[in-house]
Amino acid sequence: MVTALIGTLKDHWHLSSPLPLLAALALGVVLLYWRRGARWGRWWLTVVVLGYWALSTPAIAWLVAWPLAHQYRRLESRAEASNAEAVVVLGGGVRTRMDGPLALDDLGGSALRVMEGVRVYRLLGDPVLIVSGGDSEHRDPPRPEAAALAAAAASLGVRPSRIILEDKGLTTREEALAVKRILDDRHIARFVVVTDAVHLRRSLATFRNVGLDPVASPSLAADADRHVFALAPSRDSLGRSDEAIYEYVALVYYWSRGWITAPRR
């Protein structure tokens, strides 16, 4: 029940989804047509337009995401990985395009996570690569996200025999529990977790909460090559703000459930 609700919120009630924008605009229109609410309607629509413009610019997106992401840097040497024996890539969503029996997976932002995972894999010299993500689209037959990530990693040169699929987890909490079982079965204590920088704080805290101690290596942001102080709106920047706002809400939720552990100092 909770997983299904979280999935619905992620799919439809987030900043870059049409649904909340249409709802916000509809409320403004209703207020405009209500005689006593016209003034509030003008203010409301002004706030909605300016708010979406601001959150769609690289400068504001950077400011929103900075508290979550600024402390994480990509690994550049094997020594920084502290003798890690595995790399864990957490999926960030995959869209499956289907035409009858034909299907292709669109990795979207998850492609950046796979590329970072493969880069770290090469840096460490052929460790185990665990790709994580269940069937978030509930296809029949199932098409887990992990399978798409595994195929992408193999296409980038990772030996299939070194790829392990965790294809059940639909939330970060479920992924952490499933990855722990995989690592415990193989007696692996040290590993690198790869995900988007804004997702790393919650990921690390969740993994530590189940008894693991990962090293972090963030993937590049989709708009990393955009000038941070540019004021022109972009889809990537809106997505960045969207991800950060979702992470703030998710951190509060995970804390309320006792699913995260405070970071080590």
Q: Which of 117, 119, 113 is nearest to 129 (CA)?
A: 117
Rounded to two decimals, the pTM is 0.85
| Confidence at 3, pLDDT banded by 50, 70, 90 | low
pLDDT of residue 20: 85
Tens of pLDDT, residues 48-99: 999 999 999 998 999 999 999 999 999 998 889 888 999 999 998 888 888 7
Which three-class secondary structure state does DSSP give residue 71? coil
| Cβ neighbour number for residue 126 with a 10 Å cutoff | 10
Give the length of the chain.
Answer: 265
DSSP designation for 164? E
Contact (Cβ atoms closer than 8 angstroms) between residue 190 and residue 85: yes
pLDDT of residue 265: 47
Sign of CA pseudo-dihedral 203, 7, 108, 179? positive
pLDDT of 101 > 70? The answer is: yes
Tokens of 91: 């999926």
Asked if the bond preceding 141 is cis, omega within 30° of 0, the reply is yes
Which phi and psi angles does 169 have, rounded to 5°? -65, 130
Q: Which secondary-structure segment (H or E) carries 88?
A: strand 86-90
Distances (CA, A) of 124 to 81, 115, 130, 179, 249: 8, 14, 14, 19, 34
Question: Is the pLDDT higher at 165 or at 224?
Answer: 165
